[in-house]
């Protein structure tokens, strides 16, 4: 895929933005490649977790305003759909990572995450950062408002006031401040980020796959619910389905036998 390195390690699909000479700045082809790769991971039963990070010293510096290679990529949409689709690839970051896949997406922010690159990171379910990471909303300095789902993901994550202050101050925050503000959940030394990212993804991948997917589906949609009674029903139905699954029965049996469960994703 265009400027996106993709590999599978165990049950983890690793996506690495791969334009280090441009600080992994986004072109349309790279944006669509990310969306498409997440969709392919979702469709692969052997993949349980998606890891997202960048090659080089930046996670993603935002939209590539300087131009450069923009090789066409298959989007999965017809020409007519693409013309009519106002969301385009930036708008699909949140949809693709949070709502269109039930596989958890864990981002390893290895450096600067700015503008649309920040929106991409915030669309992940979990974020860890290198000590050298720096986050900047970017949009105001370009004279525009946020996109990529940032106006939904950010206040959902840190609350209205914290989101507004971060967006309107429009400045870089380092990794430690990002941790204090709740923008990331962990900070590790830069040379340990890749290993820690894979370790965390592997730990999640070791859990019962269907239970993990149902958990993400419920949690991701929590900010959207208007009927709490219906949510309680959804939780019970999901929990019962998990207990009735082969993995659920295996988990109980392994607990009784005091051994590590062997999950098969069914």
Per-residue pLDDT of the chain (266 residues; tens, 9 = 90+): 679 999 999 999 999 999 999 999 999 899 999 999 999 999 999 999 999 999 999 999 998 877 555 555 555 555 544 544 455 678 889 999 999 999 999 999 999 999 999 999 999 999 999 999 999 998 888 888 888 899 999 999 999 999 999 999 999 999 999 999 999 999 999 999 999 999 999 999 999 999 999 999 999 988 877 766 666 676 567 767 776 788 878 877 886 788 888 888 88
Distances (CA, A) of 109 to 17, 86, 90, 114, 121: 11, 28, 18, 11, 7
Quote the pLDDT of residue 235: 59
Q: Contact at 8 Å (CB) between 94 and 121?
A: no
Quote the pLDDT of residue 242: 72
Alpha-carbon span 53 to 121, nearest angstrom:
9
Alpha-carbon span 55 to 22, nearest angstrom:
11
Quote the pLDDT of residue 81: 47
Model pTM score: 0.85
Quote the pLDDT of residue 259: 87
Quote the pLDDT of residue 145: 86
Strand 186-188 to strand 126-130: parallel, antiparallel, or no bridges (unpaired)?
A: parallel
Quote the pLDDT of residue 249: 81
| CB burial readout 148-171, b (16+ within 10 A) else e | bbbbbbbbbbbeeeebeebbeeee
Secondary structure class of 53 (helix, strand, coil): strand
81 token code pair: 């759909």
DSSP states of 79-121: HHHHHH-SSHHHHHHHIIIIIS--S-EEEEE-SEEETHHHHHH
**Of 19, 4, 87, 88, nearest in space to 51 by CA:** 4
């Amino acid at each position: 895929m265009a400027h996106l390195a993709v590999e599978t390690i165990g049950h983890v699909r690793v996506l690495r933005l791969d334009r280090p000479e441009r600080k992994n700045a986004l072109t349309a082809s790279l944006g669509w490649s990310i969306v498409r790769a997440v969709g392919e991971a979702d469709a692969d039963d052997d993949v349980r977790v998606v890891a997202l990070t960048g090659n080089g010293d930046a996670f993603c510096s935002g939209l590539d305003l300087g131009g450069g290679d923009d090789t066409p990529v298959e989007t999965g949409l017809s020409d007519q759909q693409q013309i009519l689709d106002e969301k385009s690839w930036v708008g699909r970051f949140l949809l693709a990572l949070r709502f269109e896949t039930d596989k958890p997406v864990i981002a390893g922010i290895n450096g600067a995450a700015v503008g649309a690159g920040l929106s991409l990171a915030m669309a992940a379910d979990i974020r860890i950062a290198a000590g050298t990471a720096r986050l900047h909303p970017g949009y105001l300095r370009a004279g525009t408002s946020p996109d990529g789902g940032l106006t939904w993901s950010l206040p959902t994550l840190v609350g209205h006031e914290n989101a507004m202050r971060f967006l309107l101050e429009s400045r870089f925050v380092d990794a430690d401040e990002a941790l204090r503000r709740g923008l990331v959940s962990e900070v590790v030394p830069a040379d340990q980020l890749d290993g820690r990212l894979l370790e965390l993804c592997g730990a999640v991948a070791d859990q019962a796959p269907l239970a993990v997917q149902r958990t993400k589906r419920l949690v991701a949609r929590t900010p959207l619910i208007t009927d709490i009674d219906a949510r309680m029903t959804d939780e019970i139905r999901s929990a019962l389905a998990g207990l009735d699954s082969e993995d659920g029965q295996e988990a109980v049996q392994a607990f009784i036998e005091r051994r590590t469960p062997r999950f098969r994703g069914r």
